[in-house]
Amino acid sequence: LQPGRMLLIDLEKGRIVSDEEIKSEIATRHPYKTWLANTQLILEDLKPVEPRALRRDVSLLDRQQAFGFTQEDTKLLMSPMATTGQEAVGSMGTDTPISAMSDRSKLLYTYFKQNFAQVTNPPIDPIREELVMSLVSFIGPRPNIFDLVGNSRRKRLEVRQPILTNGDLEKIRSIGHTEDRFDTKTIDITYASNEGAAGMQGAIDRLCERAEAAVAGGYNIIILSDRQLGPDRIAIPALLATAAVHHHLIRKGLRTSVGLVVESGEPREVHHFCCLAGYGAEAINPYLAFDTLLDMHKRGELPAEVDANEVVSRYIKSIGKGILKVMSKMGISTYQSYCGAQIFDAIGLKTDFVQKYFTGTATLIEGVGLEEIAAETVSRHADGFGNDPVLRNSLEVGGEYMFRMRGEAHIWSPDAVATLQHAVRQGSWQTFKDYSAQIDSETARAQSIRGLFKIRLAEETGRKKVALDAVMSAADIVKRFSTGAMSFGSISREAHTTLARAMNAIGGKSNTGEGGEEADRYLPLPGGGKNPERSAIKQVASGRFGVTAEYLVNSDVMQIKVAQGAKPGEGGQLPGHKVDATIAKVRHSTPGVGLISPPPHHDIYSIEDLAQLIYDLKNVNPAADVSVKLVSEVGVGTVAAGVAKARADHITISGYDGGTGASPLTSLKHAGSPWEMGLAETHQTLVLNGLRSRVALQVDGGLRTGRDVVIGALLGADEFGFSTAPLIAAGCIMMRKCHLNTCPVGVATQDPVLRKRFKGTPEHVINFFFYVAEEVRALLAEMGYTHLDQIIGDTDLLEKRALIQHWKARGLDFSKMFFKPHAPHEAVHWTERQKHPIDDVLDRKLIELAKPALEARQPVSIELPIRNVDRSTGAMLSGEVAKRFKHKGLREDTISVKLTGTAGQSFGAFLARGVSFELIGAGNDYVGKGLSGGRIVIRPPENTKIVAAESII
């Protein structure tokens, strides 16, 4: 039984029906080919039509400004797409405000975050599984799927991919002249500018009425167009117009009678197109994006060797690839399935606004409604058609992806980076307090959700302040800290080992990331102590780079990376120019070849699969904890509850603003949610389900100060992960060039010349963590508590800051996050160990029988029966081999094991070199998972009639 195939057991006839016979019978049951020929019209087959001209009284620059284009949009996003046919790649994550907290006018798309699959179902690999993915879209009325006779079947227009050129759109607009079954209606989505922001509500209502009337009048394709934008016309945001019409027609029972096409100057990046598709657009014509690219080409801003038509073609290709990648994050393989699926969470939008226009979309924090969205739209319109001298001849700088003067605010400003580095290098507590005050001030200026929180001190809660000497020591607090999963490869050996040395020195933990670790860093010191460069946390990611039995036994925590904050739903990415000979050896790959991990773990397609991998890892290294890394999104609490039941010892909730060495810019900005939301939901769900005491809960992604740590604890965290901040302490200057291998300070490069410039020391990182711990102590004393455990999950100590004057943030409501579950008999922090059923596994017997080999390298032969309850057989034995003999293991067949029966799951997992398994019988899922040099032979019993090669499921 192979993927995509099936077997039918016919009990009445006593036979097995093959896949080919099943499908052949179904395929010939009706005249599908004839039906398709009669109802399918392909856009490419229609005659070309001359595109319509834009209004001549509106310049390109005015249009761009009215739709919010920035210099970053054209240079960082659109230019790479038009020249390479690929999405632009960036690094270091995001540290700008969410849209509901930004001082600047934001497009509506940015209030929505892409959903992604984690644990409960797998994402798809859009690169290696491209065969099962499709961008084909059908425009027009949908047929009745229950009408097998075909009387109600109506004609539909097929487009190969949903991004329409101007010529494609005109074919659709005039299709009624050539095809009598289609009637197209173009509806203007602009309204009179003299109505201002207050006029948008009425304009949307009129738009919905016109769309309903058009369908009632027999039109079966509606084009929503903002081409009439001008000084006298304001465009309703394309996403709002599309979603409003889509849901209005659904409520009226008319949506399946019409196709929706969007003609807009607003969309230009992948996320914009995904949002439009998610809320009902079957095809999109981004006419202003095309005009912008052609203008850039004309002015010589794009390579001369790429002609104008090719520029548009490559841009469309890159948008298509990006849409496929976003679809794949949720395990969706076709555009038709994604269209109207609303796979998004709203961040900071009012519930009544969302329920009216984006019905069914989850929104966790209240805030912005139609009034503010309209005000932002009018503000952009004024930028385009006003008299601001700054915008007279050029676009705004943007500043979303890197710090720019007059651009979007960043928490990691050049001044903040410099102040932190001065503090840790000079050992100055006062300078660190200056840094911390600066960072906390930035967050308080509506830079992040927690910036709007107020921590209630002792005088506000009726407690008494405590003396600082009575508070838990900084040395105890830093043991709860770890550095984030930054791989060897994404950062240099010098940076990687500096972090490891620092964390080992203070009793915290460093994380290998998903790139493996050099074996010499496992070697104990001559006196027998642990190597100071050994990372305590060994990550197991989907690519399994460097994951061997030796790697696992040299860990204190084995972390399964299900998702990464900066790019959830995608695999890790290391550009080929960073894969030198050393990196390739550690990752067991080829020098110079880029490495992209698959989005899914191919042995985790369900919560049961995750439980099995946890069991496998625990068998290899029973002394280590197993951690699972998830990313914040609405619903992550339910996933975390399943992970706790799968017997994970530790759960990490990562925020969307975590750093990364390389990621598509779309993912950096538009996937996942702030950790405050995911952490609060996870803690609440675990407490309500009686699971909180079983797992240590860690938060990471953008932690910078002691205040961040205390807020993390109040929302439910036991432990805290830091990535960017300790990297800055070690020398990073936030150039955001990690993916280019050109880091000028030797942090994120493999270039031997640049690596010599690395000046960081473990002491710099140690200073940072102790300063943070001292801030935590001071806050605890002010709150009247002596220990972090006393405040974990106590959201009564948090409240929304009073007198928030921000024109958007003042309406935000955090009551759902501040909800405190009533569970009087449940622990609210980690208090007990998970019970892993590994005391009586078959490997215990194997290890006992293999003692001559383990202690004296003497060959041993073992024969035992095996049953399907014997899971992960060989994993614990291999762990013992790896501890004693490293990855080199023993001589081949030193431990020869013959087993008879049906093995359970993960037979021979991580089997070490020198161990040979022969199974007479059958294996279950995951045979040979993580094979580390061992040998596995499976053969059927001698008297069986089964042909082994033909009996694989």
- pLDDT tens figures, 321-338: 999 999 999 999 999 999
- Spatial distance between the Cα atoms of 333 and 341, rounded to a whole number of angstroms: 12
**Which band of pLDDT confidence, cut at 50, 70 and 90, is reported for residue 150?**
low
Share of the chain above pLDDT 70, in %: 98
Place of tokens 């803690």: 683
Query: Above 90 in pLDDT, residue 403?
Result: no
Angle, to 10 degrees, between the axis of helix 706-714 and the axis of helix 762-783? 50
- Spatial distance between the Cα atoms of 368 and 458, rounded to a whole number of angstroms: 33
Does residue 229 sit within a domain?
yes
pLDDT digits (tens, 9 = 90+) for 551-607: 999 999 999 999 998 889 888 889 999 999 999 999 999 999 999 899 999 999 999
Domain count, the chain: 3
- Spatial distance between the Cα atoms of 431 and 433, rounded to a whole number of angstroms: 5
Query: Above 90 in pLDDT, residue 803?
Result: no
pLDDT digits (tens, 9 = 90+) for 343-368: 999 999 999 999 999 999 999 888 89
Paired tokens of 900: 């008879």
| Lowest-pLDDT choice from 45-54, 446-455, 756-765 | 45-54
Regarding whether 707 and 853 lie in a shared domain, the answer is no
Does residue 933 sit within a domain?
yes
pLDDT recorded at residue 402: 86
Which of the listed residues 362, 391, 420 is the one where a domain comes to its end?
391
pLDDT recorded at residue 944: 84
Q: What is the CATH number of the domain that holds 924?
A: 2.160.20.60
Looking at 428-544, which runs of residues are DSSP E strands? 453-455, 481-485, 509-511, 537-540
pLDDT recorded at residue 528: 80
Paired tokens of 4: 């995509």
Does residue 811 sit within a domain?
no
Regarding whether 467 and 615 lie in a shared domain, the answer is yes
Mean pLDDT within 410-420: 93
H/E stretch holding 29 reads none
Regarding whether 464 and 385 lie in a shared domain, the answer is no
Which of the listed residues 736, 770, 799 is the one where a domain comes to its end?
799
Regarding whether 206 and 323 lie in a shared domain, the answer is yes
| CB-based contact 730:760 (threshold 8 Å) | yes
| CB-based contact 666:112 (threshold 8 Å) | no
- Spatial distance between the Cα atoms of 801 and 415, rounded to a whole number of angstroms: 26
Paired tokens of 570: 């995608």
Regarding whether 775 and 850 lie in a shared domain, the answer is no
Does residue 808 sit within a domain?
no
Place of tokens 């161990």: 915
Nearest to 116 by CA among 658, 639, 701: 639
Ramachandran area for residue 394 (φ above 0: left; ψ -120 to 50: alpha; else beta)? beta
Nearest to 123 by CA among 572, 514, 604: 604
| CB-based contact 710:773 (threshold 8 Å) | no
- Spatial distance between the Cα atoms of 48 and 641, rounded to a whole number of angstroms: 56
Does residue 942 sit within a domain?
yes
Looking at 642-780, which runs of residues are DSSP E strands? 650-654, 663-664, 696-700, 719-722
Mean pLDDT within 643-651: 98
Nearest to 619 by CA among 926, 857, 935: 926
Count the residues in the chain. Answer: 953
Regarding whether 922 and 781 lie in a shared domain, the answer is no
Which of the listed residues 769, 799, 829 is the one where a domain comes to its end?
799
Does residue 695 sit within a domain?
yes
Does residue 569 sit within a domain?
yes
Q: How does the average pLDDT of the chain come out, rounded?
A: 93
pLDDT digits (tens, 9 = 90+) for 453-469: 999 999 999 999 999 99
Q: What is the DSSP string of 674-686?
A: -HHHHHHHHHHHH
Regarding whether 669 and 520 lie in a shared domain, the answer is yes
Nearest to 332 by CA among 648, 705, 712, 599: 599
Query: Above 70 in pLDDT, residue 221?
Result: yes
pLDDT digits (tens, 9 = 90+) for 923-934: 999 999 999 999
Nearest to 102 by CA among 445, 377, 360: 445
pLDDT recorded at residue 632: 95
pLDDT digits (tens, 9 = 90+) for 166-216: 999 999 999 887 676 789 999 999 999 999 999 999 999 999 999 999 999
Question: 309: Cβ–Cβ under 8 A, 6 or more apart, which residues?
Answer: none
Q: What is the CATH number of the domain that holds 225?
A: 3.20.20.70
pLDDT recorded at residue 660: 83
pLDDT recorded at residue 773: 98
- Spatial distance between the Cα atoms of 905 and 611, rounded to a whole number of angstroms: 11
pLDDT recorded at residue 826: 87
Regarding whether 862 and 789 lie in a shared domain, the answer is no
Share of the chain above pLDDT 90, in %: 78
Judge if pTM exceeds 0.85.
yes
Q: Which domain holds residue 889?
A: 842-950
Paired tokens of 107: 């497009």
pLDDT digits (tens, 9 = 90+) for 622-642: 999 999 999 999 999 999 999
3-state helix vs strand vs coil in the chain, percent to 5: 40, 15, 45
Regarding whether 913 and 765 lie in a shared domain, the answer is no
Report which DSSP code applies to 536. Answer: S
pLDDT recorded at residue 753: 95
- Spatial distance between the Cα atoms of 780 and 179, rounded to a whole number of angstroms: 74
pLDDT recorded at residue 475: 98
Regarding whether 870 and 735 lie in a shared domain, the answer is no
Bridge partners of residue 66, in order along the sequence: none
| Backbone torsions φ then ψ of 721, nearest 5 degrees | -110, 135
Does residue 171 sit within a domain?
yes
Regarding whether 511 and 635 lie in a shared domain, the answer is yes
Regarding whether 484 and 365 lie in a shared domain, the answer is no
Query: Above 90 in pLDDT, residue 137?
Result: yes
